[in-house]
Structure 1
């Protein structure tokens, strides 16, 4: 009887937490999201629109904005983010772009119920390792006071650096609460004067892993950074499907592949073919990377079947997080998982695939309202 009562209490507690997360916190986060949207609008998207010669008339844009606002019941920041003001884009095509507000504050909280195991990069690596998923080798993880090796041994922060010496380049990154490549540092220990203690004081929890080499198919496009695939998966009734695949190329001279540092995203087809154009965060189209001469249209990536299969294997390990964006690197030995993201970048998807609302919204709704227990 006591066990049944405890289970009932825990169930009620879970339902309360679910109500707070989906009904209260989404409204709070939505309000806090507004200043970010305004900054992006004023600093990036609106100035880009004013420079475009192919934009619609002011009257046409005004009509579009009314239609988009009525369709999605939110402020239409995404209209400018995705360049829907360009001539040739019909009202139907414009409304097909899914607003970030709708995805992150109305849909995703009801889809991805439990994200801690995925978003904590150290926990995620251990779950993936338990299933034999190939990934960069973990050297150590820790916080501001102490580190822990991959074998579970407690070590000082100084000892972490000593363990990593001789490993060539290593990657240091926050274990929680970072996005867009923020906090990711690639160093060659003993040569760069890296201070792990200062890093930990700034970022809190962290992990150090070995840097992996990349396949020639990607190095010839951009040799400066480890370029990765963003593979979006959706898990429905135990079956994982790949919805979208993009290749993320780092900006010229950048060591990461994020769009915030000049990166480009390119749609990747099932057979490994790249689209003719890749796009940066300003929606400028590129036929090749700034640091190379290989045309995207003439390039095909090997082993894409393995990349997609690896993403679906990973997706099945996180049943309470059905919608995940996997960052996967392709090494000479095959694909390895860098990390998973419970809030996949909608911008990456819609820059490369166009408006995805007609197919993505019904897909996400199909996995909403699942029972907690």
Structure 2
């Protein structure tokens, strides 16, 4: 909350996609035409310099990506050409398997997202954002009777504040403002009284000055055991308010681990992602965040992925739409992390800036050709209308 980080610094400068004329997905053309008109001369000069530096950076980036993914010289030459013409990161070209300039017409680039989010979802950029702090999120969820993990204790400045003492069991600890599974850990509580529990928590290493949450480890629904391993699979479901102001489900992806040692489902930890059919709740073939190829069965267990039907899918859809409309109405867009448990769907957290890479990578489809893109364009237009004198 309010702390300095490189992540936040990168979001402070909204990169302009081009040197003079903007280069973007079709559905963002009006937005960038407006940005071009809004710029003062100093900003236009800065954008031109940044655009030229971007073009110089593309060959270096392409070679770096090729080494990471084992791609050849032909791919590097193609990526340099498309990256420069389409003002695209070669890493995105590899992730989205783009080998023609025209294929970029419907893909939103990662560097575009922050500036667009600030325009259409300004509430998620405030210091009091209830989607950026898990304590605030769980308080809002409790107020509206939304299923969420119970907080057993918090640790603030190394001091534990115990709400309830669990029996001996595996517990989950995570920083209240953590992102992408960072800081998440599992601890084995042997059992004891309130004082012993507080001492046990305060003796955990690496607490620093952060605010930590302590919860019971959640168990996935038995339907997902064949793909869960030691982690909890979660669905990232994105909802955006439609033209009438009602939340609409626009993307749905299940994330789950690929490594037996992983305790989180996050893509950065080697996790897999599979698109969820929004009507049936069935999974499509999975993919990794960085490697090509479709995965129909889990690489460790051999369990079915493609075709697997999620439990309680209709209830999950109803929950996210209800939560957006009733509990978090100030946000135009929310990315929900939802777990499927034996007791039904449970909210893990909400995100005001849900990752567009996952949405586009899992489906192989740019958001510009979906309702996601249509509604982003709608909110950009409404924002433009609202700020006109």
Deviation at 1:279, TM superposition (A): 2.8
Aligned pair 1:216/2:222, yes or no?
yes
Q: Provide structure 2 residue ranges, at least 5 long, that are not aligned to the other structure.
A: 1-8, 17-52, 192-198
**Structure 1 residues 281 and 313, CA, compared in 2 at 3 Å: closer, same or farther?**
farther
Structure 2: distance between partners of 1:194 and 1:286? 42
Question: Is the CA contact (8 Å cut-off) linking 1:142 and 1:148 kept in structure 2?
Answer: yes
Q: How does 1:218-367 map to 2 (within 5 A)?
A: 218-236=224-242, 237-252=244-259, 253-270=261-278, 271-316=280-325, 317-354=327-364, 355-359=366-370, 360-367=372-379
Structure 2: distance between partners of 1:164 and 1:320? 35
Question: Is the CA contact (8 Å cut-off) linking 2:152 and 2:166 kept in structure 1?
Answer: no
> 1:212-249, CA deviations, whole angstroms, 9 ceiling, x for partnerless residues?
21111111223321111111111244411111111101
**Structure 1 residues 61 and 30, CA, compared in 2 at 3 Å: closer, same or farther?**
closer
Deviation at 1:145, TM superposition (A): 5.0
After superposition, the CA RMSD in angstroms is 3.3
The range that moved more, 279-288 or 232-241, is 279-288
The match for 1:76 is 89
Structure 1: distance between partners of 2:146 and 2:156? 25
Aligned pair 1:46/2:53, yes or no?
no
Structure 2: distance between partners of 1:26 and 1:48? 25
Deviation at 1:300, TM superposition (A): 1.8
Structure 2: distance between partners of 1:255 and 1:25? 29
The match for 2:22 is none
Structure 2: distance between partners of 1:280 and 1:58? 19
**Structure 1 residues 234 and 43, CA, compared in 2 at 3 Å: closer, same or farther?**
farther
Aligned pair 1:175/2:176, yes or no?
yes
Structure 2: distance between partners of 1:242 and 1:204? 34
**Structure 1 residues 91 and 43, CA, compared in 2 at 3 Å: closer, same or farther?**
closer
Deviation at 1:147, TM superposition (A): 4.2
Q: Provide structure 1 residue ranges, at least 5 long, that are not aligned to the other structure.
A: 1-23, 70-74, 151-162
Structure 1: distance between partners of 2:305 and 2:289? 14
Q: How many residues align?
A: 321
Deviation at 1:27, TM superposition (A): 4.2
Aligned pair 1:61/2:61, yes or no?
no
TM-score by length of 1: 0.75
The match for 2:139 is 126
TM-score by length of 2: 0.72
Question: Is the CA contact (8 Å cut-off) linking 1:173 and 1:185 kept in structure 2?
Answer: yes
Deviation at 1:124, TM superposition (A): 0.4
SS at match of 1:276: coil
**Structure 1 residues 94 and 180, CA, compared in 2 at 3 Å: closer, same or farther?**
same
**Structure 1 residues 203 and 240, CA, compared in 2 at 3 Å: closer, same or farther?**
farther
**Structure 1 residues 352 and 200, CA, compared in 2 at 3 Å: closer, same or farther?**
same
Structure 2: distance between partners of 1:60 and 1:29? 27
SS at match of 1:272: coil
